[in-house]
Amino acid sequence: MHERRPGLDPAVAEVRRAVRAALDGRGVVIVALSGGADSLALAAATAFEAPRLGIRAEAVVIDHGLQGGSDAVAAAAAEKARALGLDARVVTVRVGSTNGPEAAAREARYAALTRVAAETGADAVLLGHTLDDQAETVLLGLARGSGATSLSGMAPERRDATGPVWLRPMLGVRRETTVAACAAEGLEPWTDPHNADPVFARVRVRETVLPVLERELGPGVAEALARTAEQLREDAAAFQDMIDETIEDIVEHAEAGISVSVAALAANPAALRNRIVRYVVDSEFGVALTRAQTLEVARLATDWRGQGPIDLPGCLARRVGGRIEIVARAAS
């Protein structure tokens, strides 16, 4: 067990421990740096720990160009990273207009980080999300009513089909700790004005909802929400294993789509049956079904009364004999 050196600030020590655990066994990594307290504390800890583990690290600052002077903010963040001993670069991205500004900026940011990871040979990208971010994510998912998958929040480690591993070392670290770590190391974080703009739902959760819950229910709400996310991720992983085991036997390709055995689908418990329906449609057509749509498709197996095809986004589901076919709408 690593012992904290005398005189080392507790906040700095906590962030370094979290980063050290995430870096163990990695090769080349990049740190997503905005200049805010969370990512700056992450960069400082990485700059300290990576050389000691023989790991090459680089900071990448994404300039979304959404605010006046964003180029200067990005350049200043990169300079702070260099002062910490990290290589650093600024990447300017074009943010699309679809899916709302937050989602569009996130898509552009992750695409840019994926490109840089490929260019540098990095096998991991470190992101500065904290326990508070996790709690906010869970509350937002709860408000949307989007089920256990959304409530499971952000994973500490996630790998897409292609690209790097996304690491969130600080999901167990409070935001106040990253602020304290920056102060202890003499680092001046940038404050994003968007983080105080109540037009964004996440800001309202951060500034209003969570403080009310803490005040009315007592301290520890954020930690409890983060624990809930962790437990639900474990459940989701178990369900996914069950889906992977089941799906080979009950799913077949159909013309312009896919088909599922009625008898096998109906034999599964509702929780697994509904997840199979959502998973099949998402995998084949890239569509996330609502709960109401999922239940209607499942009824083709469990409550068949001769109902006609069910319209879904980009596809439709219909019962044909002993199978449910999910096909592209044009092909129907």
Instruction: Summarize pLDDT for 158-191 with one digit per residue, the tens.
Output: 988 788 999 999 999 999 999 999 999 999 999 9
Return the structure tokens found at 167: 């690491």
| CA gyration radius, the chain | 23
Task: Judge contact between 55 and 27, C-beta under 8 A.
Answer: yes
Number of neighbouring beta carbons within 10 Å of residue 23: 22
Of the options 3.40.718.10, 3.40.50.620, 3.40.50.300, 3.40.50.720, the CATH number for the domain spanning 10-224:
3.40.50.620
Alpha-carbon separation of residue 275 from 169, 282, 297, 309 (angstroms): 29, 10, 11, 20
Strand partners for 159: 165
**Per residue, what are the HEC states of 138-158?**
HHHHHHHCCHHHHHCCCCCEE
Residue 42's CB is within 10 A of a number of other CB atoms, namely 32
Mean pLDDT for all residues in the chain:
91
CA distance 100 to 79: 31
Confidence of residue 98 (pLDDT cuts 50, 70, 90): low
Please say if the pLDDT value at position 28 is more than 80.
Answer: yes
CATH topology of domain 255-331: 3.30.465
Which residues are registered as beta bridge partners of 318? Answer: 325
Separation of alpha carbons 246 and 279, rounded Å: 12
Strand pairing category for 157-159 and 251-254: unpaired
- Name residue 88's beta-bridge partners: 59
Which range has highest mean pLDDT (180-184, 242-246, 302-306)? 180-184
- pTM for this model (two decimals): 0.83
Mean pLDDT over 63-69 rounds to 85
Whole-angstrom CA distances from 311 to 40, 203, 318, 328 are 48, 36, 9, 10
Whether residue 165 contacts residue 246, with contact meaning beta carbons closer than 8 Å, is answered with no
Helices (H), the chain: 10-23, 37-52, 70-84, 100-120, 131-144, 147-151, 175-184, 201-204, 210-217, 221-250, 262-267, 270-285, 291-302
Question: How many angstroms separate the CA atoms of 191 and 52, rounded?
Answer: 30
DSSP state for residue 96 in the 8-state scheme? -
Q: Mean pLDDT, to the nearest integer, of 271-281?
A: 93
pLDDT mean over 132-137: 95
CA distance 136 to 72: 29
Least confident of 114-128, 177-191, 204-218, 247-261: 247-261
Q: How far apart are CA 278 and CA 262, in angstroms?
A: 15
Give the 3-state secondary structure of residue 2. Answer: coil
What is the average pLDDT across 61-66? 88
Return d(Cα 207, Cα 202) in angstroms, integer. 9
Helix (H, G, I), strand (E, B) or coil at 222: helix
Q: Which two tokens stand for residue 134?
A: 């996790």
Domain ranges of the chain: 10-224, 255-331
